[in-house]
Amino acid sequence: MKKNWSKNKINIKKIYFGYHKKIIAFSYALFFVCSFSCEEKKTEQQSDRSTQNIVTDLKPVSSNVLSKIKIIHPTYKKLPLHMATMGYIDYDNFSKYDIASLYNGRIDKLHVRFNYQPIKKGDILFEIYSADIVNAQENLIYLLKTSPEEKELIDAAKQKLILLQLTNEQITEIENTKIIKQTIPVYSKYDGFVYEMIDSKTSSITSNDNQKSTVLSAKEGMYVERGKVLFNVVNSHKAVVMLKVKASDISKIHSGQKVNYFINNDSSMMMTGKVDFIEPVFSNGAKTLTVRVNMNNENHQHKIGSLVNATIIADSLETLWVPKSSIVDLGKSKIAWLQKENSFKAVKVETGVSTMGMVEITDGLTESSMIAEEAHYLTDSEGFVKINEDEK
């Protein structure tokens, strides 16, 4: 019994000391985690406090600095809004036309070979074989041969061919030769060039217009259905400028306002236009709306996809203004240097729109406020240091 008790006693001690070591290890780990968390929180608080001091508590070391600083007052006045924005040149969708098949049939010969191929009204786009057209011709020729006196039936057969988009010249040729045309040419009704192919399975078209594939989706020998759009034709003489405007500024823009713009950073070629259309909805969660400006591209001088810098001349706004140079943008906040006796103090301000080198002040300053005209001079100056806590 004594031996068994001794063995059990030894086992109990081992278990106890084993758990004791684990508890100690866990306590140390918990202590280090808590210490790290507290230290991190303390560092963040010190960082926030330091940032606040830098923003709000600055004073000049030397009085000589003050004599070099020009003081101004915010001014309440009416200014025209010149809203700077950017965009690109795009095709005019109102001059874009669909070319669709009028028949069920097979493309026998394709005269349009690649994207951006120029075409004119009356050019042959493709030739198609259609059983419907062949049957309609057979009916007309049969009536002409067997019942030439049945004028009404003959006229009805001709009308069917007209509905199938055959021209009067083609129908007259069928009457005279009495030979069935196995393929019928399809003519373009528009001037322009081939813009894009619709069938994405065989044409790698992307959303960027200058990256569209030059390979056509329509192929010779391909069967098509009536109404299927094969490609588009766009009028190359017309283009539009598509400008992106912030949602906060869109309320100040309306149709008819003047727009000054230049292309590809070439400010020497300044052009003018007018706001033609403003998109009524945001697309895909975007924070901007698109403003459309018509432009003349008669000589094909401007390429689709070119970048545009523009200024929209919006209506005037009467409010409190200060020069842009008097505001410092710190990222999340903006400050101005307010004169207080023999020193300057940074005060937080709320701004609105910018125009003609001026910034709208919505909060933080009044007309009686005295601020530094060149805020960056003070912010970057070595003559300013942070006030310590005991100096406050």
Tens of pLDDT, residue by residue over 96-136, are 888 888 888 898 888 888 877 888 888 888 888 988 889 99
Same domain flag for 77 and 178: no
Asked if pLDDT for residue 288 goes beyond 60, the answer is: yes
Tell me the pLDDT band of 309, cut-offs 50, 70 and 90: very high
Same domain flag for 143 and 205: yes
Residue 106 counted as domain residue: yes
The domain spanning residue 271 has which CATH number?
2.40.30.170
The predicted pLDDT at position 383 comes to 46
Same domain flag for 372 and 263: no
Tell me the pLDDT band of 205, cut-offs 50, 70 and 90: very low
Asked if pLDDT for residue 57 goes beyond 50, the answer is: no
Q: Could you tell me which residues come within 8 angstroms of residue 323 by beta carbon, excluding any fewer than 6 positions away?
A: 72, 357, 358, 359, 373
Tell me the pLDDT band of 70, cut-offs 50, 70 and 90: confident
Compute the average pLDDT of residues 337-345.
81
Burial category of 308 from C-beta neighbours within 10 Å (exposed 0-12, middle 13-18, buried 19 and up)? buried
The predicted pLDDT at position 24 comes to 52
The domain spanning residue 198 has which CATH number?
2.40.50.100
The predicted pLDDT at position 229 comes to 84
The predicted pLDDT at position 67 comes to 65
Which residue pairs from 209-218 have beta carbons closer than 8 angstroms and sit at least 24 positions apart in sequence? 209/90, 209/91, 209/304, 209/305, 210/303, 210/304, 210/305, 212/115, 213/115, 214/114, 214/115, 214/116, 215/114, 215/115, 216/110, 216/112, 216/113, 216/114, 216/115, 218/107, 218/110, 218/112, 218/126
State the residue for tokens 């001059």.
95
Domain of 290, in residue numbers? 84-93+237-313
The predicted pLDDT at position 308 comes to 92
Domain's final residue, options 263, 285, 313: 313
Residue 171 counted as domain residue: yes
Same domain flag for 176 and 244: no
- What is the b/e burial string over 215-254, where b = at least 16 CB atoms within 10 angstroms of the residue's CB? ebbbeeeeebeeeeebbbbbbbebbbbbbebeeebbebbe
In total, the chain counts a number of residues equal to 392
Compute the average pLDDT of residues 346-372.
88
Residue 276 counted as domain residue: yes
Tell me the pLDDT band of 38, cut-offs 50, 70 and 90: low
Residue 169 counted as domain residue: yes
Per-residue model confidence as pLDDT tens digits over 242-260: 999 888 788 888 888 899 9
Task: Retrieve residue 107's tokens.
Answer: 């493309």
Per-residue model confidence as pLDDT tens digits over 256-274: 889 999 888 887 888 888 9
Q: What percent of the chain has pLDDT over 70?
A: 73
Question: CA angle at residue 226 from 220 to 231, to 5 degrees?
Answer: 55
Asked if pLDDT for residue 203 goes beyond 60, the answer is: no
Following DSSP, what letter does each residue of 71-101 receive, concatenated? EE--EEEEEEEEEEEEEEEEE-GGGEEEEE-
Same domain flag for 124 and 246: no
* C-alpha–C-alpha distance, residues 374 and 11, integer Å: 81
Per DSSP, helices labelled H in the chain are: 2-56, 64-67, 131-146, 151-163, 168-177, 375-380
* C-alpha–C-alpha distance, residues 331 and 318, integer Å: 27
* C-alpha–C-alpha distance, residues 55 and 379, integer Å: 10
Q: What is the mean pLDDT of the chain?
A: 75
Same domain flag for 113 and 182: yes
Residue 8 counted as domain residue: no
* C-alpha–C-alpha distance, residues 19 and 77, integer Å: 79
Asked if pLDDT for residue 208 goes beyond 50, the answer is: no
Asked if pLDDT for residue 305 goes beyond 50, the answer is: yes
Same domain flag for 171 and 211: yes
Asked if pLDDT for residue 9 goes beyond 60, the answer is: no
Same domain flag for 107 and 160: yes
Task: Retrieve residue 187's tokens.
Answer: 């003519």
* Amino acid type, 181: K
The predicted pLDDT at position 388 comes to 35
Same domain flag for 149 and 159: yes
* C-alpha–C-alpha distance, residues 256 and 312, integer Å: 10
Q: Which of 51-55, 164-168, 283-287, 341-345 has the highest mean pLDDT?
A: 164-168
The predicted pLDDT at position 213 comes to 45
Question: How many domains does the chain divide into?
Answer: 3
The predicted pLDDT at position 35 comes to 52
Residue 184 counted as domain residue: yes
Tell me the pLDDT band of 46, cut-offs 50, 70 and 90: very low
The domain spanning residue 367 has which CATH number?
2.40.420.20
Task: Retrieve residue 272's tokens.
Answer: 């003018």
Asked if pLDDT for residue 16 goes beyond 50, the answer is: no
Same domain flag for 193 and 292: no
Asked if pLDDT for residue 26 goes beyond 80, the answer is: no
Asked if pLDDT for residue 293 goes beyond 70, the answer is: yes
Domain's final residue, options 191, 209, 234: 234
Asked if pLDDT for residue 209 goes beyond 60, the answer is: no
Tell me the pLDDT band of 87, cut-offs 50, 70 and 90: very high
The predicted pLDDT at position 196 comes to 61
Residue 25 counted as domain residue: no
The predicted pLDDT at position 200 comes to 38
| Global pTM value | 0.58
Q: What percent of the chain has pLDDT over 90?
A: 9
Same domain flag for 228 and 122: yes
Same domain flag for 259 and 363: no
Compute the average pLDDT of residues 329-340.
85
* C-alpha–C-alpha distance, residues 167 and 355, integer Å: 60
* C-alpha–C-alpha distance, residues 320 and 334, integer Å: 16
Per-residue model confidence as pLDDT tens digits over 127-158: 889 888 899 999 999 998 888 888 899 899 99
CA nearest to 220, candidates 106, 98, 100, 117: 106
Domain's final residue, options 278, 313, 348: 313
Residue 7 counted as domain residue: no
Asked if pLDDT for residue 77 goes beyond 80, the answer is: yes
